[in-house]
A and B are shown apart, each in its own frame.
Chain A
Amino acid sequence: MMKPLSDEILVAYADDELPPTERAAVERRLAHDAEARDRLAAFTSTGQWLARAYDDTLREPVPEALLAAIRAQRDTTSPAGSAAAKDLSLWRRLRAPDWRSAWPAMGGVGLGLATGIALMLVWPHAGPLAPDVTLLVDQALETAAGGEPLQFELAGERLEITPIGTVRTAGGEICREFTQVRGATAQESVVTHGIACRTAGGPDAPAWRTLAKVELLPPSAETPGFGLASGAPQVLLDALVETLGAVEQLPPDAERQLLEAGWE
């Protein structure tokens, strides 16, 4: 009595991974072994399913935001370019059907990709932003094209603001996502990621109102010890999503036109 055909051999047979002689030997044995044929059927069916299971993703057009992030990396070698390319994910996470699970859990144990994420939502008014930073953010969002970093000196620290994407909300509002890198040295820099929408403003008031800011911790950081204020971030995110509704990401051309027209 021979040993039964192993699962490994059967799956390799199903996947056409056996050399011809071994393949023929397996076929001879399968002819007399109903139990092995049953096991083989499970390997064959699952192989066929998996080959097609993700076809929808394969056929989908690659999201413009992903291509933009890759091009941004290609088009620049500056550290600002990499910051810009790093993350267009804030909008996507807010829009995704499963965005709740994509965000840090209420207990603060969830973490963002490649960086820890500390939520500091600024809502509904831009309270915690220092006024001078607010003005520089405003200047950058008003004048810089997507992916173009603006650098400032602020109290001995370097401050770099890079708009990374522009969207139009269902209500016709124009909002831009941006990264902000602030610190005396690259190592000590704090990277934040924000969304600001353009308001009518006034002669002295900033035109761009920051709705949300997220602090990205350096990749080296272990599980951060901060706790999120009880329940608040979730509620605020809900409010943000509800207020802005569906957004449409603008292609670079449309963004440039708006920029040149002063966002009106």
Chain B
Amino acid sequence: MTEPGASSPDFEDQLISLLPRLRRFARSLTGSAVDADDIVQSGCIKALRGQAGFSPGTRLDSWLFRILQNTWRDELRRRSARPEGAAVELDLDLPDEVDRLGDRATLAAVRSAMRYLPEEQREALTLVSVEGLPYAEAAAILDVPIGTLMSRVSRGRQRLRRLVDGEPALSEGTR
């Protein structure tokens, strides 16, 4: 960064080189390709406008994940057509698909199952398991104590496993 508020080519280059990961993050978080690219686009624009708020020497990926995360939360709040905690019947027959098609199908089932997790578990798993961030980093992005993060990660992973294994599931807090 040269002077505060100046548009830094460095910053932009780094942001552009992080785009594949930002898209993966957003895809996991939103469960939809369209929503994912929307939040990446508005998040990156916010980031470029607000790049003075980034502290050099800290992780740019974490900073951007946090912006995307907030963008998505705002969007969910805006949509909130479905009340929090509403039960939704899972309409997928996951295990059959998995047996038939093997590995690719397992991963497809994982992506489907992710969409049925409660938002806070999906957020935690996206940061820790999809993006591979250390727990401390993920807890800081989500602004929760590390113990809370660990409990979301463990509950999320158990629930995910049950969904992929085909346990008939009622999900709570889905969108």
Contacts and interface: CB of A to CB of B under 8 A. Distances in A.
A74 B12 contact: yes
Contacts of B24: 54-55, 57-58
Given A58-B23, A66-B40, A66-B41, A50 B125 contact: yes
Interface string B17-44: 0011101100110001111111111101
Nearest to B81: A109
B54 to A, nearest CB: 15
Interface string B37-70: 1111110110011000000000000000000000
A87 B41 CA distance: 8
Interface in B111-141: 111, 114, 125, 128-130, 132, 134-135
A110 interface: yes
Interface residues of B, number: 55
A42 B161 contact: yes
A66 B37 contact: yes
B1 interface: no
Main secondary structure of the interface of A (DSSP, over half): helix
B147 interface: yes
Nearest to A82: B45
A99 B34 contact: yes
A63 B79 CA distance: 26
Nearest to B136: A17
B174 to A, nearest CB: 14
Contacts of A39: 158
A211 B71 CA distance: 30
B73 interface: no
Given A53-B107, A92-B37, A8 B45 contact: no
Contacts of A113: 35, 38-39, 42, 71, 75
12 contacts: A57-B24, A59-B20, A60-B20, A60-B23, A62-B20, A70-B48, A73-B45, A82-B49, A98-B33, A109-B81, A110-B79, A114-B75
Interface of B: 7, 12, 15-16, 19-21, 23-24, 27-28, 32-42, 44-45, 48-49, 71, 74-75, 78-79, 81, 106-107, 110-111, 114, 125, 128-130, 132, 134-135, 147, 150-151, 153-155, 157-158, 160-161, 164
